[in-house]
Amino acid sequence: MNLKQNTAYVLTAAATLAIELLAYGAYRYVILNTEAHTLQVRNKALEQNLLTVIHDLAKTKSDLSNTQNNNTDLTQALTAEERKNGDFASQIGELSGTVSTLTKLSETDKELLQKYSKVYFLSDNYVPSSKRGHNCRLKNREQTSSRPTKGTPNISSAPQSTSRQLLSAPRIPNLTARTD
């Protein structure tokens, strides 16, 4: 019996070992199957995240391109406006100089303006103050010499209407606004 008992004992141990191995195998199968399922779910979630990131990256690139184009357009518009402002500044400077000159002219004594204007110097009535006492001699000289000397114009033969027209000419021209 001893042999029978030993055989039974070995068979029982082998059966127990087989059952334990089967239980451990089943346990490991369930754990590995659960981990595999978890990894598959996690992999799908990461793939979705990757697709979202790729889509967002493409959208960001498109937005960046649009922003750069918009920036280029705005830079060109700014340059054009700065050029216009420069043109306006130079026009304002020119007009300011003109206004300054006109203001000085309007504030200047009219007799002084008349005395130094071209029209005044071309007038038949003009006689320099240093020559006023010598008026008689000038008139006598004009009467005796009917021909002008070489290089001097004969002002006395100029028509009277020309000197009157020059005297009645406006001294300051009308200014018109530039439209360009």
Res 177: pLDDT: 46
Give pLDDT tens digits for 129-154.
666 665 544 454 454 444 445 444 44
Residues 2-15, mean pLDDT to the nearest whole number: 87
Higher pLDDT, 9 or 52: 52
What is the structure's pLDDT at 97? 84
The pLDDT confidence band at residue 6, using thresholds 50, 70 and 90, is: confident
pTM for the full predicted model:
0.39
Instruction: Give the C-alpha distances (Å, rounded to integers) separating 107 from 53, 93, 100, 126.
Output: 76, 21, 11, 24
Residue 65 has pLDDT above 60, yes or no: yes
d(CA 34, CA 40): 10
How far apart CA 72 and CA 49 sit, in angstroms, is: 34
Q: What value does the mean pLDDT of the chain take? A: 77
